[in-house]
Amino acid sequence: MLKINLTDDIFYVGVNDRKTELFENHMELPNGVSYNSYLIVDEKVALIDPVEVSFMAEFLFKIKTVLGERKIDYLVINHDEPDHSGAVRAIVQEYPEVQVIGNAKTFGPLEAFYGPLNNKMIVADGETLCLGKHTLQFFTVPMVHWPESMVTYEQTNKILFSNDAFGGFGALNGCIFDDEANLDFYEDDMRRYYANIVGKVASQVVKAVQKLAPVEIKMIAPSHGLVWRSNLQWVFDRYVKWSTGGNDEGVVIAYGSMYGNTALMADIIARGVAEAGVKDIKIYDVSKTEVSHIISDIWKYKGCVIGASAHYGSVFPDMTLLLHELTEFKPMNKVYGVFGGMSWGGGGVKYINGIADKNEWQRPMESVEVKGAPYRQEDVERLYNLGKAIGEAVKNN
């Protein structure tokens, strides 16, 4: 097995997952995902973050390729979620004397998942552990993105093992390091990961970045995605932008349509957006596109227009998940529009407006509801004007 070095004594022993179709069983993985793990070989050996348990055979083989018959002395758990910690029990069985390192909040969930653990070592925020030539320092970063989350900083080479922060979807297709990869190729998967995994706790991400500001960082080694050694400012800039509500000039139109009439409305609205001068316009059918992709683009762009047909006095069912995610994640600094169709009593637009009011969406124009097909000139004009109002608001920031 090929050894991959971060430094002379620090090795990448992660794995690629191109089999799993849904991350956390609800987000598509068209490009796969990596589960990153790192091995520090010194007077003492430390393993930083095990992988998802179904890759245990490959994972152990990589570890033994580096270590041979040496034992692992410390297993550092930065995060309890099973895509990070799934191999804990198997590692403990393989290396029964290993000490499992976590903070005061780590072991409750960890032992709930995997049963009682012997040889636990609880570390405090800022505490250090000497391995020989390498010293590890542990920083808690609560809610990035679970309460027990922490990061591990290797002081000698100034490497931050960053847990979910600065990570991304997408298997690592031969390119382990950022300077080996086309970053434009990975950026969409990074933003979709951010928007759907840590976007809800964006303020906590900002706090975590501020907390680590005094620490010199020369490399970032996250739990998913590329290892950053050359383009740290590139990834820092994007995290600051995504965490503080920086938006590109563009509009996402997401609709739910039973018989195609609401889809026609979306096209009319899009024409108004385009004639306002906005060039980046994304239109999504919520019945066809998994919601994490839509949320990712909503996070990216300034404008968002949500539309759905009525369904039994309420809203088209497939739209409810997107509205739930918008309520949970609360993308910042957006302008919104609302539209939809009805046949008898309506209900779809009313439902969306209720969500809009609850979340205090900024709306430059009242919602548009159309009875039947959007063929009457007055309806066409209202839809077009809604799109143009959104487009102008986006252009005028």
Judge if 99 and 176 occupy the same domain.
yes
| Better pLDDT: 199 or 56 | 56
Residues sharing a CB contact under 8 Å with residue 45, sequence separation 6 or more, in sequence order: 39, 67, 70, 71, 72, 73, 74, 131
Judge if 305 and 323 occupy the same domain.
yes
Mean pLDDT over 152-170 rounds to: 96
**In this structure, is the dihedral angle defined by the CA atoms of residues 380, 382, 388 and 394, taken in order, positive or negative?**
negative
Half-sphere exposure of 249 (CA within 13 A, CB side): 13
User: What pLDDT, on the 0 to 100 scale, is given for residue 40?
Assistant: 98
Q: How far apart are CA 359 and CA 143, in angstroms?
A: 22
Phi, psi of 24 (to 5 degrees): 55, 25
Q: What CATH number is attached to the domain comprising 138?
A: 3.60.15.10
User: What pLDDT, on the 0 to 100 scale, is given for residue 176?
Assistant: 97
Tell whether the model's pLDDT for residue 205 goes beyond 80. Answer: no
User: What pLDDT, on the 0 to 100 scale, is given for residue 210?
Assistant: 82
Phi, psi of 341 (to 5 degrees): -120, 160
The DSSP bridge partners found for residue 38 are 12, 48
Q: 24 — alpha (psi -120 to 50), left (phi > 0) or beta?
A: left
Tell whether the model's pLDDT for residue 89 goes beyond 90. Answer: yes
Q: How far apart are CA 279 and CA 99, in angstroms?
A: 55
- At residue 391 the predicted structure's pLDDT band, cuts being 50, 70 and 90, is very high
Domain end, chosen from 223, 243, 263, is at: 243
Judge if 48 and 191 occupy the same domain.
yes
Q: Is the separation of the CB atoms in 291 and 254 below 8 Å?
A: no
Judge if 166 and 215 occupy the same domain.
yes
Tens digits of residue pLDDT in 233-285: 999 899 888 888 889 999 999 999 999 999 999 999 999 999 999 999 999 99
User: Could you give the 3-state DSSP secondary structure of residue 239?
Assistant: helix
Tell whether the model's pLDDT for residue 358 goes beyond 90. Answer: yes
> Can you tell me which residue has the tokens 């609560």?
142
Tell whether the model's pLDDT for residue 78 goes beyond 90. Answer: yes
Judge if 366 and 231 occupy the same domain.
no
Residues sharing a CB contact under 8 Å with residue 111, sequence separation 6 or more, in sequence order: 117
Phi, psi of 255 (to 5 degrees): -135, 160
User: What pLDDT, on the 0 to 100 scale, is given for residue 39?
Assistant: 98
Nearest by Cα to 360 from 325, 326, 396 = 326
Mean pLDDT over 31-35 rounds to: 97
Omega of the bond prior to 84 within 30 degrees of 0, cis?
A: no
- The token pair at 23 is 């991350």
Q: How far apart are CA 218 and CA 202, in angstroms?
A: 23
Residues sharing a CB contact under 8 Å with residue 155, sequence separation 6 or more, in sequence order: 128, 134, 135, 136, 137
Q: Is the separation of the CB atoms in 374 and 380 below 8 Å?
A: yes
Judge if 377 and 305 occupy the same domain.
yes
Judge if 192 and 259 occupy the same domain.
no
Judge if 189 and 304 occupy the same domain.
no
| Better pLDDT: 317 or 245 | 317
For the chain, what is the domain count? 2
Largest CA-CA distance found in the chain, in angstroms, rounded: 78
Domain that holds residue 232: 4-243
- The token pair at 269 is 């609205």
Nearest by Cα to 227 from 167, 282, 267 = 167
Q: Is the separation of the CB atoms in 126 and 143 below 8 Å?
A: no
Least confident of 86-95, 203-212, 253-262: 203-212
Judge if 221 and 309 occupy the same domain.
no
Judge if 268 and 126 occupy the same domain.
no
Mean pLDDT over 196-225 rounds to: 87
Judge if 52 and 138 occupy the same domain.
yes
- In this structure, which amino acid lies at residue 154? E
User: What pLDDT, on the 0 to 100 scale, is given for residue 203?
Assistant: 77
Say if strands 135-140 and 150-154 run parallel, antiparallel, or are unpaired: antiparallel
Domain end, chosen from 243, 261, 292, is at: 243
Q: What CATH number is attached to the domain comprising 318?
A: 3.40.50.360
Domain end, chosen from 192, 210, 243, is at: 243
Percent above pLDDT 90 for the chain: 90
Judge if 9 and 123 occupy the same domain.
yes
